[in-house]
Amino acid sequence: MSVLIRFSPPSLTADQYDQAVGRLNEAGVFPADGLDYEICYGSDDNLRVSQVWDTREQLDAFGARLTPILSELGINPGEPEILEVHNVIHRGERG
């Protein structure tokens, strides 16, 4: 079953987000298997990130790679909210 994770860090800038994505790309682990969507939104130093994953196991595997990178960059991701997804509708598809 798909899962949604929402990160609401106490403080996250566009530069910090871009650095984290760059490190993940350099490591060859982004975008990760099972990641359907990643949306980064907000303003100034108050960005948020939401992701939709195919399975909880894929999310957990990615989290094991992401956590050390965030730590190295001094990014506190806060306590993420993880929810089961009932439905995902893509443009051009019927729900």
Tens digit of each residue's pLDDT (9 = 90 or more) over 24-45 = 999 999 999 999 999 999 998 9
Q: CA 66 to CA 57: how far, in whole Å?
A: 14
Neighbours of 51 (CB within 10 A): 22
**What is the number of residues in the chain?**
95
Q: CA 88 to CA 70: how far, in whole Å?
A: 28
Ranges of the chain with pLDDT below 70: 95
Q: Which domains does the chain carry? A: 3-84 (3.30.70.100)
Q: Angle at which helices 14-26 and 56-72 pack, to 10 degrees?
A: 110
Neighbours of 64 (CB within 10 A): 9
Tell me the whole-structure pTM to 2 decimals.
0.91
